[in-house]
Amino acid sequence: MAVALIVAAGRGERLKLDTPKALVTVAGKPLVQWSLDTVRSLDAVTDIALALPPEIMARAGEEFPGVKCVAGGAVRSQSVRAALHAVGRGAPVIVHDAARPLAPATVFAAALQEIERHRVDAVIAAAAVADTVKEIGGDGHTVRRTLERTRLWAAQTPQVFRREALERVLRDSPEEVLAAATDEAWLIERAGGAVRIVASYELNFKVTTQTDLRLAELLLAGAGLAL
C-alpha cells in the first residue's frame, strides 16, 4: 500500500503574507488541508507525512491530528527526505505540493495505476505546454531558438515513486544537487531512472502569487467543483 508525503514547508514570500503558505486560509480551510483531505480519500494510502515550516511545529499536532508532521528543511529535497523517514514502510511513495490544492483524487489514482503497470521509477502528473516556448541566451533577452512544443510538458505534482528509487537518489545525490532540485523526478532522471507522465487536471496550478490565491479561493469555494 502507498504512503504519501505532502510538502508544505515553503514560506510563500511572493504571497506577501505573515502567515506561512501552508496555513493561509483558502475557502474556509488552511491551504494544506485541501491536499491532505484529497490524499486521505485515497484507499491505497496507509500513511501520510506532512513537512511543515519549523516555526509551526509546536502546534502542528493539534492542527493536523492523525498525520505525521515533520519540520521541513531549507530546500525541497530536505523536506521530502524528512517526511519519507517519518512514514511507514509502504510503497509506492506519493509526493505532492500543498501549493497545488486543486489536484483531484483522479490524478493521484491515475499516477498510482501507471506505476503499477510499467517498470518505471516514477510517474508524474504533467500538463502539455500550450504556448510557444523560446530559449534565450546568456544576456537574458536574446532568443536563441524556439523549442518543439509538441514534446514539452510542464511537470506538476502529484509524483509517484518506487520507494527504493526515491530513497536511493535522496541518499546518494550530492547536497548541491539536492539543493538545486525543483522536483524529485529530476533526481531520478539524473540518476538514469525511467519517468513516465500522466495527464494532469487543467486547474492543477501552483499557488504562488496573490492572483493564484484569489483564483484558488473562487474555484475551491465553488459548489460545483468536484475534486
pLDDT at 226: 46
pLDDT at 20: 87
What is the tally of structural domains in the chain? 1
Task: From 25, 21, 14, select the one nearest 51 (Cα to Cα).
Answer: 21
93: left (phi over 0), alpha (psi -120 to 50) or beta: beta
| Chain segment 123-168, per-residue pLDDT in tens | 999 999 999 999 999 999 999 999 999 999 999 999 999 999 999 9
**Does residue 195 contact residue 155 with C-beta atoms inside 8 Å?**
no
Q: How many CB atoms lie within 10 A of CB 218?
A: 12
- Which residue type, as a one-letter code, is found at position 55? E
Burial grade of 139 (CB within 10 A; 0-12, 13-18, 19 or more):
exposed
Question: Which helix or strand (DSSP H or E) is residue 211 part of?
Answer: helix 210-221
Q: What is the pTM of this model?
A: 0.94
Rounded-to-integer distance, Cα 69 and Cα 86, Å: 8
| Chain segment 7-40, per-residue pLDDT in tens | 999 877 777 777 888 899 999 999 999 999 999 9
Measure Cα distances from 14 to 18, 108, 210, 213, 221 in Å. Answer: 11, 27, 8, 11, 23
135 lies in a domain? yes
Question: Which helix or strand (DSSP H or E) is residue 215 part of?
Answer: helix 210-221
Alpha-carbon Rg for the chain, nearest whole angstrom, is 17
pLDDT at 188: 98
225 has pLDDT over 60: no
154 lies in a domain? yes
Rounded-to-integer distance, Cα 70 and Cα 90, Å: 18
223 has pLDDT over 50: no
pLDDT at 91: 94
pLDDT at 73: 92
Average pLDDT over residues 41-48: 97
Fill in the DSSP letter of residue 67: S
73 lies in a domain? yes
201 has pLDDT over 50: yes
227 lies in a domain? no
**CATH number, domain containing residue 213:** 3.90.550.10
pLDDT at 11: 73
Domain with 43, as residue range(s), is: 2-221
34 lies in a domain? yes
120 lies in a domain? yes
Give, to the nearest 10 degrees, the angle between helix 76-86 and helix 163-172.
130
Rounded-to-integer distance, Cα 177 and Cα 171, Å: 11
| Chain segment 62-117, per-residue pLDDT in tens | 999 999 999 999 999 999 999 999 999 999 999 999 999 999 999 999 999 999 99
